Structure 1
Amino acid sequence: MMGREARATLIRLWARQILETITLVLLMLLIIRITLQNFHIDGHSMEPTLHDQEYILVNKAAYLLQEPARGDIIVFQYPRNPQENYIKRIIATPGDRISIQKNTVIVDGTTLHERYVNKDDPYNPYPTINQRVVGANQYFVMGDNRGNSSDSRAWGMVPRQNIIGKAVVVYWPFDVDNFGLLPNMSDVFAHVR
């Protein structure tokens, strides 16, 4: 049989363990909340990579130690209305020269072979762009569904401070063809300086 003092010690140990567990869980939840955010896709501008009504996770800490890169899919505050969040692919980074002629995208003299672009909608509703230079701390973004995307061709560059994070995972719904990690498309830009 356990004495009164031994029982009190055991209760203190259990209470301490429970408190430590609760503190650890709360700390983990805080870290997850700071670094990850869910995002709901509303529209078809990123087809076929992302679909309307999907849910994704955005890594808000992705650019703490590195700069956003060509090919990254980012969520950002729309420059004309910071209350709205958009999702697009980075095509050109600070200092790049970009040209777009119909469906051909050229970055720093290199023609991109963009396998992620929606081939079913090749229409480009925007005028030709010739040798536009991407300014410091700015990014040129486009949707993968080029005929149905409001992007840098229409309203200009995305300032660095507007970037919320990098899209990394499609987590809902389960039955889509792109469930899970988003593919890395950096090889499309491998020959750009």
Structure 2
Amino acid sequence: MFEWIKSIALAIVIAIIIKTFIFDTTYVLGYSMYPTLHEKDRLFTNKIIYLIGEPKKGDIVVLEAPDDPDKDYIKRVIGTEGDLVEIKEGIVYVNGNPVKENYIEGDIYTHNDLKIKVPEEEVFLLGDNRVEGASKDSRYFGTVGIDSVNGKAFFRYFPFNDRFGMLK
């Protein structure tokens, strides 16, 4: 009986360590990342990746919401430290080059013309859903400190359909 209890306790401790420091799960609420992510998608998030590296352009990240610390947001990294991000006439540019955004739907117009240089230790984030008002992102709250980024979403484990698998 003691061995059985010891094995269960060890499994619980290992699970807590993994969930706290290495991997987590994320439940998607809302449509700010549509069509890449849909409401009620469930994702695995790598929490350790940004302890040993920094977010890269195109990463889908989970972050502490800058406007509500009780929430997490999920967004895509568009610009990293030192980049000049511009939105002109609905097109996103990084360092003067248009961003190839094959993850957004059709000819969606990216609202809110702006020009911003990403400060050190910060990132510029956008939701994939560019319909006006669909995403609270860096157009709304500005750049975000890398320390607010909790991890990289990398795998959709639910629903079990054609969207199951690695995220792009």
C-alpha contact 2:23 2:45 (8 A) present in aligned 1: yes
Q: Which runs of 4+ in 1 moved over 3 A?
A: 18-24
Q: Distance in 1 between matches of 2:98 and 2:159?
A: 35
Q: In the TM superposition, what is the alpha-carbon distance from 1:30 to its structure 2 partner? A: 2.7
Q: In the TM superposition, what is the alpha-carbon distance from 1:60 to its structure 2 partner? A: 1.1
Q: Unmatched 5+ residue regions in structure 2?
A: none
C-alpha contact 2:62 2:74 (8 A) present in aligned 1: yes
| Alignment match, 1:123 | 109
Q: Distance in 1 between matches of 2:41 and 2:109?
A: 24
Q: Distance in 1 between matches of 2:124 and 2:72?
A: 16
| Alignment match, 2:140 | 154
- Which of these residues, 155, 160, 163, is aligned with residue 174 of structure 1? 160
TM-score (norm 1): 0.78
Q: In the TM superposition, what is the alpha-carbon distance from 1:145 to its structure 2 partner? A: 1.0
Q: Distance in 1 between matches of 2:137 and 2:106?
A: 18
Is 1:60 aligned to 2:44, yes or no?
no
Matched residue SS, 1:64: helix
Cα 1:33/1:109, change in 2 over 3 Å: same
Which amino acid in structure 2 is aligned with residue 161 of structure 1?
A: D
Higher helix share: 1
| Alignment match, 2:38 | 51
Q: Distance in 2 between matches of 1:172 and 1:27?
A: 25
Cα 1:85/1:43, change in 2 over 3 Å: same
C-alpha contact 2:32 2:136 (8 A) present in aligned 1: yes
Matched residue SS, 1:100: strand
C-alpha contact 1:92 1:107 (8 A) present in aligned 2: yes
For these two proteins, the number of residue pairs brought into alignment is: 165
- Which of these residues, 122, 127, 135, is aligned with residue 138 of structure 1? 122
Q: % of aligned pairs identical? A: 37
Q: Distance in 1 between matches of 2:95 and 2:110?
A: 21
Q: In the TM superposition, what is the alpha-carbon distance from 1:102 to its structure 2 partner? A: 2.6
Q: In the TM superposition, what is the alpha-carbon distance from 1:133 to its structure 2 partner? A: 0.5
Q: Distance in 1 between matches of 2:11 and 2:105?
A: 42
Q: In the TM superposition, what is the alpha-carbon distance from 1:151 to its structure 2 partner? A: 0.9
Q: In the TM superposition, what is the alpha-carbon distance from 1:55 to its structure 2 partner? A: 1.1
Q: Greater Rg, structure 1 or structure 2?
A: 1
- Which of these residues, 11, 15, 19, is aligned with residue 29 of structure 1? 15
Q: Distance in 2 between matches of 1:55 and 1:28?
A: 22
Q: Distance in 1 between matches of 2:100 and 2:11?
A: 45
Matched residue SS, 2:153: strand
Q: Unmatched 5+ residue regions in structure 1?
A: 1-13, 184-193
Matched residue SS, 1:140: strand
Q: Distance in 1 between matches of 2:73 and 2:89?
A: 23
Q: In the TM superposition, what is the alpha-carbon distance from 1:94 to its structure 2 partner? A: 0.9
Q: Distance in 2 between matches of 1:93 and 1:149?
A: 19
Matched residue SS, 1:42: coil
Matched residue SS, 2:139: helix
